Structure 1
Amino acid sequence: MLTVAVLISGTGSNLRALLEAARHPDFRARVVVVGADREADGLAHAEEFGIPRFTVPWHQHESREAWGEELGRQLAVWNADLVVLSGLMRLLPAGLVAALSPRLINTHPAYLPEFPGAHGVRDALAAGVTETGASVIVVDDGVDTGPILAQERVPILDGDTEHTLHERIKPVERRLLIDVVQRIATGELSLTSAP
């Protein structure tokens, strides 16, 4: 059974999807801990599902590196096979990425390498393109530059706003994430040989 730690900053919709998927006996992964960089609403999902949780508040540390060191200490307690960034809105320090690599994956609301960064949905709309997408990647020391594990296109419709487009991307992200985690758990997908 693949053990998974999930890191969030917000409502945790991807986290909830993973927790629900893990209820099925044929799903070969289990979330063992949920961490956050603030008192995120999504921590309520961990509580509901009886999953331990921890918070490492960003503002309580003098640097990104110090925050990353404490986050790494908290994660080390659980020794999870895989760490999923699920809407964590902080860049992890290089030392923590290196320590977790390649067992660290992230979802992104764009068809990478198109529109990396914190505003992928807004940037796609501003560019006037007709489609964007969702991606699941291995995290490296760049910004959304790691090997792509799965991705899917999502059309941009006339009248789309950042909110409406993002709401259509989210279910695709969730589906891709669940599929990737299951394929890692079954050995169908190897993070060490990801493209």
Structure 2
Amino acid sequence: MSCVIKSISPCFETLKAVNGEIEHLSFHQARFDKTRQELYGSTQKIALLKHLNPPKAFTCKVRVEYAQTIYKIEYLPYTPRDFQTFARVEADIDYAYKYCNREALNAHLRDDVDDILFTCNGELKDTSIANIALFIDGEWKTPLHPLLVGTTRARLLSCGELKAEVLDIKSLQKAEKFAIMNALIGFKIIKKVSIKD
């Protein structure tokens, strides 16, 4: 009798370092711990701070690849990208963990837009690299069921600056403002957003 073991992709954590200081480390540590325990069964804690030594000369993207243990740490210069145009794509994607294998997301990327806005059964999810927020009736709202629970989203929910609820296409049409968020971008309001169906 043979047993087939499902191969689980390693995951990665993306952090932002400014002048050698990691921003919002506690939220990254929490997701790192949760992923290692739930996905790989690791119970031994690893303190990210002890392994990170970002350069002080420039703002950088810190990429930590890991599973049970840390596999690789990279320090890459960070240059912000401009996002204005999005294509809405209906897809049922499982990206509950920040897998290194991003084929399911990347398969939908297009040259004629800056990023993809995913929906599932009409419910708004995320872009390929960021959580989203809509400003409706005087409040910033973010999808209750994102593809990935981002650290910036978690931080803004914890301090009451965001409210999580089910958002759909009608919500998008009602929204006065549209924003994207992740550890590198922060919370970025897109002033001239264009969303194609």
Give the TM-score normalised by the residue count of structure 2: 0.28
The structure with the greater share of residues assigned to helix is 1
| Structure exhibiting the larger radius of gyration computed from Cα positions | 2
Q: TM-score, normalised by structure 1?
A: 0.29
